[in-house]
A and B are shown apart, each in its own frame.
Chain A
Amino acid sequence: MSGLRRFLLRISAFFRHDAAEEDLAREVAAHLALLEDEYRRRGMTRDEATFAAKRALGSTAHTKDLHRDSRSFAWVDDLRRDARHAARMLAHNSSFTAVAVLTLALGIGANTAIFSVVNAVLVRPLPYADADRLVLVFAPTRGAPGVSNRRVPALFPTTFDALRTHTRSLSHVVGYVQTSSTLTGQGDPVRLAGIQVSAAAFPMLGALPLLGRTFEPREEASGVNAVVILSYATWQRYFNEDAAVVGKAIALDGQGHTVVGVMPDGFTLPNTPAQYWVPYTLPGPNAGAVISPFVMARLRDGVSRQAAEDDVNAVASGSAERSSGRLYELVGVQDEIVASVRPALLILAAAVGLVLLIACVNVANLLLARLAVREHEMAVRRAVGAGPGRLIRQLLTENVLLALIGGAAGTALAFGGIQVLRVLATTLDRRDLGGAGVSLPRLDEIAIDATALTFTVGVALLTGIAFGLLPALRYLRSRSHEMDVLRERAGSNRIRGALVVAEIAMAVMLLVGGALLMHSFLRLSNVETGYDPTNVITFQASPRRSSGPEARVFAEQLVERLQSLPGVSAAGYANNLPLVQLSFGRDVGARPYGPGEAPPPPYPGLHGISPGFVNAMGMTVVEGRSFTEGEPARREALISRAFARSGFFDGPPVGRQIYSGRNAWEVVGIVEDFRQFGLEQQPQSELYIIDFLPPPPGLSGTYFAVRTEADPTAVAQSARAIVRQLDPQATVDNIATMEQIVSNAISRPRLYAVLLGIFAGVAVALAGIGIYGVLAYVVAQRAREIGIRMALGARRAQVVGLVLRQSAVLTAIGVIAGVSGAAALSRYLEDILFGVRPLDPPAFVVAAVAFTLVALLAAYGPARRATQVDPLVALRSE
Chain B
Amino acid sequence: MAERVELLQGTLDLIVLRALSTMGPQHAYGLASRLEQVAEHPLLLNQGTLYPALVRLEQKGWIKGAWQRTESNREAKYYRITRAGSRALEKQAERWRRLAGLVDKLLVNEL
- Verify A69–B61 contact, CB threshold 8 A: no
Q: A6-B56, A66-B51 are in contact. Are A56 and B43 (CB under 8 A)?
A: yes
Chain B hits for A24, CB < 8 A: 51
- Verify A62–B48 contact, CB threshold 8 A: yes
Report the Cα distance A471→B86, complex, angstroms. 52
- Verify B59–A10 contact, CB threshold 8 A: yes
CB contacts under 8 Å to A, within B45-84, are 46-49, 51-53, 55-56, 59-62, 70, 72, 74-77, 84
B-side interface size class: 20 to 34
Chain A hits for B74, CB < 8 A: 30, 33-34, 37
Does B27 count as interface, using CB distance less than 8 angstroms? yes
- Verify B60–A5 contact, CB threshold 8 A: yes
Does A560 count as interface, using CB distance less than 8 angstroms? no
Chain A hits for B48, CB < 8 A: 28, 57-60, 62-63, 66
Mostly, the A contact residues are: helix
Q: A5-B61, A31-B29, A34-B27 are in contact. Are A70 and B56 (CB under 8 A)?
A: yes
Chain A hits for B84, CB < 8 A: 2
- In the complex, how many angstroms separate the beta carbon of B41 from the nearest chain A beta carbon? 13
- Verify B70–A63 contact, CB threshold 8 A: no
Q: Which of B29, B32, B55, B60 contacts A71 (CB 8 A)?
A: B55
Report the Cα distance A24→B52, complex, angstroms. 11
Does B15 count as interface, using CB distance less than 8 angstroms? no
- In the complex, how many angstroms separate the beta carbon of B17 from the nearest chain A beta carbon? 13
Does A9 count as interface, using CB distance less than 8 angstroms? yes
CB contacts under 8 Å to B, within A7-23, are 9-10, 13, 23
Does A27 count as interface, using CB distance less than 8 angstroms? yes
24 A–B contacts, CB within 8 A, in A order? A2-B60, A2-B84, A2-B88, A5-B60, A9-B59, A13-B59, A26-B75, A27-B51, A31-B29, A31-B47, A33-B74, A34-B27, A35-B47, A38-B29, A56-B46, A57-B48, A58-B48, A59-B48, A62-B46, A63-B46, A67-B51, A67-B52, A67-B55, A69-B52
CB contacts under 8 Å to B, within A88-112, are none
Does B28 count as interface, using CB distance less than 8 angstroms? yes
- Verify B28–A31 contact, CB threshold 8 A: yes
Among A34, A67, A71, the one with the most B-chain Cβ atoms within 10 Å of its Cβ is A34
Nearest-neighbor residue (CB-CB) of B48 within chain A = A63
Q: Which of B43, B46, B60, B76 contacts A34 (CB 8 A)?
A: B76
Nearest-neighbor residue (CB-CB) of B47 within chain A = A57
Chain B hits for A59, CB < 8 A: 46, 48
Report the Cα distance A33→B49, complex, angstroms. 17
Q: A30-B77, A34-B27, A71-B55 are in contact. Are A58 and B47 (CB under 8 A)?
A: yes
- Verify A70–B47 contact, CB threshold 8 A: no
Q: Which of A5, A30, A67, A70 contacts B27 (CB 8 A)?
A: A30
Nearest-neighbor residue (CB-CB) of A3 within chain B = B60
Report the Cα distance A395→B72, complex, angstroms. 51
Nearest-neighbor residue (CB-CB) of B53 within chain A = A70
Chain A hits for B75, CB < 8 A: 26, 30
Report the Cα distance A71→B58, complex, angstroms. 10
Chain B hits for A23, CB < 8 A: 77
- In the complex, how many angstroms separate the beta carbon of A358 from the nearest chain B beta carbon? 48
- In the complex, how many angstroms separate the beta carbon of B108 from the nearest chain A beta carbon? 35
Q: A30-B29, A34-B72, A66-B48 are in contact. List 4 more A-B contacts (CB 8 A).
A: A2-B60, A31-B28, A34-B74, A57-B48
- Verify B46–A5 contact, CB threshold 8 A: no
CB contacts under 8 Å to B, within A37-67, are 37-38, 56-60, 62-63, 66-67
Report the Cα distance A62→B51, complex, angstroms. 11
- Verify B60–A66 contact, CB threshold 8 A: no
Report the Cα distance A1→B75, complex, angstroms. 33
Nearest-neighbor residue (CB-CB) of A13 within chain B = B59
B contact residues vs A (CB 8 Å cutoff)? 27-29, 32-33, 43, 46-49, 51-53, 55-56, 59-62, 70, 72, 74-77, 84, 88
Chain B hits for A30, CB < 8 A: 27, 29, 74-77
Q: Which of A13, A57, A71 contacts B46 (CB 8 A)?
A: A57
- Verify A2–B61 contact, CB threshold 8 A: yes
Chain A hits for B55, CB < 8 A: 67, 70-71
Among A5, A27, A60, A69, the one with the most B-chain Cβ atoms within 10 Å of its Cβ is A27
Chain B hits for A69, CB < 8 A: 52
Nearest-neighbor residue (CB-CB) of B72 within chain A = A37
- In the complex, how many angstroms separate the beta carbon of A276 from the nearest chain B beta carbon? 66
Chain B hits for A70, CB < 8 A: 51-53, 55-56, 59
- Verify B59–A6 contact, CB threshold 8 A: yes
Chain A hits for B29, CB < 8 A: 30-31, 34-35, 38
Among B27, B51, B56, B77, the one with the most A-chain Cβ atoms within 10 Å of its Cβ is B51
Chain A hits for B32, CB < 8 A: 31, 56
Chain A hits for B61, CB < 8 A: 2, 5
- In the complex, how many angstroms separate the beta carbon of B87 from the nearest chain A beta carbon? 11
Chain A hits for B62, CB < 8 A: 2
Report the Cα distance A31→B49, complex, angstroms. 13
- In the complex, how many angstroms separate the beta carbon of A129 from the nearest chain B beta carbon? 48
Chain A hits for B59, CB < 8 A: 5-6, 9-10, 13, 70-71
Chain B hits for A28, CB < 8 A: 48, 51
Among B43, B48, B77, B88, the one with the most A-chain Cβ atoms within 10 Å of its Cβ is B48
Q: A6-B59, A10-B59, A66-B52 are in contact. Are A31 and B72 (CB under 8 A)?
A: no
Nearest-neighbor residue (CB-CB) of B85 within chain A = A2
- Verify B77–A34 contact, CB threshold 8 A: no
Chain B hits for A9, CB < 8 A: 59
Chain A hits for B77, CB < 8 A: 23, 26-27, 30
Among B29, B62, B74, the one with the most A-chain Cβ atoms within 10 Å of its Cβ is B29
- Verify A58–B56 contact, CB threshold 8 A: no
Report the Cα distance A219→B53, complex, angstroms. 79
- Verify B47–A56 contact, CB threshold 8 A: yes
Chain A hits for B56, CB < 8 A: 6, 70
Among A59, A69, A71, the one with the most B-chain Cβ atoms within 10 Å of its Cβ is A71
- Verify B60–A63 contact, CB threshold 8 A: no
Chain A hits for B51, CB < 8 A: 24, 27-28, 63, 66-67, 70
Nearest-neighbor residue (CB-CB) of A23 within chain B = B77
Nearest-neighbor residue (CB-CB) of A10 within chain B = B59
Shortest beta-carbon contacts, A-B, top 8: A58-B46, A63-B48, A70-B52, A58-B48, A34-B29, A2-B60, A6-B59, A9-B59
Chain B hits for A34, CB < 8 A: 27, 29, 70, 72, 74, 76
Chain B hits for A62, CB < 8 A: 46, 48
Chain A hits for B70, CB < 8 A: 34
- Verify B60–A6 contact, CB threshold 8 A: yes
Chain B hits for A35, CB < 8 A: 29, 47
- Verify B60–A31 contact, CB threshold 8 A: no
Report the Cα distance A13→B53, complex, angstroms. 16
Chain B hits for A66, CB < 8 A: 48-49, 51-52
Report the Cα distance A676→B82, complex, angstroms. 86
CB contacts under 8 Å to B, within A833-849, are none
Chain A hits for B60, CB < 8 A: 2, 5-6
Report the Cα distance A140→B49, complex, angstroms. 83
Chain A hits for B28, CB < 8 A: 27, 31
- In the complex, how many angstroms separate the beta carbon of B4 from the nearest chain A beta carbon? 13
Report the Cα distance A180→B62, complex, angstroms. 78
Chain B hits for A63, CB < 8 A: 46, 48-49, 51
